[in-house]
A = this chain, B = another copy of it.
Amino acid sequence: MAVGGNRLRVAILGASGYTGAELVRLLLRHPMVEIVAMSADRQAGKRISQSFPHLPDDGLPGLVKIEEIDWSGVDFVFCCLPHGLTQETIAGLPVHLRIVDLSADFRLHDIAVYAQWYGHEHLAPDLQREAVYGLTEINRERIKSARLVANPGCYPTAAQLPLIPLLEKSLIGADDIIIDAKSGVTGAGRDAKQASLYSEVTEGIHAYGIASHRHAPEIEQGLSKAAGKGVVVNFTAHLMPMSRGILSSIYVKCANGAGAGDLRKALNDRYAGEYFVKILPEGAAPATRHVRGSNFCLISVFDDRVTGRAILFSAEDNLVKGASGQAIQNMNVMMGWLEQMALEQLPMFP
């Protein structure tokens, strides 16, 4: 067991949002973990079941304010707070804590880029330097010893997993990558917004954040590193009438004479042995409904009709591999545990 024969004592900050609830859903079945604290400032004093009746109260602490948490009884923190507040909060935590942060606050290595996209100076540049980017399959070695892991965004996970291996091997052009991304509504969080109302979302679709979505620099950071040069992508997000799921349709130009078969082989090679990333066989396209509730990311490759072009698809559950699931996967890596612990549930369909 983790700490002196006992379970790892975990705190969840910001437990009243969808990613917080998803952490609870999964961690309650983790054999090595005990949830010892959950914060939710506006809900402090209540039980989690009052916010999320699908969750039990048995085996869970009540909701408290962050400042009420006794950190001496906590080993590990999942931080699901809004951006900005996150930097301040994590900067104030005792150093014995290991942390997976699900916000965007520590994902961008370059604090100038952060300031440009988020409209204010970074409040904890030292922590930013320390933070390890938590795209597990790509960055596993560094995650193992990290104290602070910046869990990737939902769109960036779905975009980078298929593209990084191809850029690393120069199988696709770096200058001509178009990512048409489609996400379920939970990506917008649980705050009451008119734009997220049932009647505003059901039975219709639209694009948003066009040419200005904050996940673009995160994607470009990862792809640039893989390509060994600056990559600027076209990334366009669309809101889908569904709760969970992201599908990325990615249009690329092949390089060096490669075709879909070569791309598929490179992905298969790169992800051989990975539990959560699955490369589909030729002709199969992934559906988000086939990963719902699970930590899987499905990827497929097709030759386009236009010679020299290929189409990649990736599908994930934005709340699991795109957020809380990958966060737990990262905790498992940090603790040296079996990576799929608490993440072995199969997708739920229909």
Say yes or no for A61: interface residue by CB 8 A criterion.
Answer: no
Interface flag for A204 (CB, 8 Å): yes
Instruction: Give complex CA distance A232, B349 in Å.
Output: 36
Interface string of A319-335 (1 = CB under 8 A from B): 00000000000000000
**Contact between A192 and B197 (Cβ–Cβ < 8 Å)?**
yes
Could you say which residues of chain B place their CB within 8 Å of the CB of A251?
178, 180, 234, 236, 251
Q: Give the contact-size bracket for chain A.
A: 35 or more
| Given the contacts A25-B346, A180-B249, A249-B238, A244 and B287 also touching, CB distance less than 8 Å | no
Q: Is the CB of A204 within 8 A of B288?
A: yes
* Chain B proximity of A273: nearest CB distance (Å): 14
The answer to whether A291 has its CB under 8 Å from any CB of chain B is: yes
* Cross-interface CB contact of A232 among B184, B293, B306, cutoff 8 Å: B306
Residues of B within 8 A of A311 (CB): 207, 210-211, 234, 236
Instruction: Tell me the dominant secondary structure on chain A's binding face.
Output: loop
Complex CA–CA separation, A260 to B302 (angstroms): 30
Q: Are A302 and B243 in contact (CB under 8 A)?
A: no
Interface residues of A in 231-247 (CB under 8 A from B): 232-236, 238, 240-245, 247
> A161-185 interface mask toward B, CB cutoff 8 Å, 1 = contact, 0 = none?
0000000000000000010101011
Are A182 and B304 within 8 A (Cβ)? no
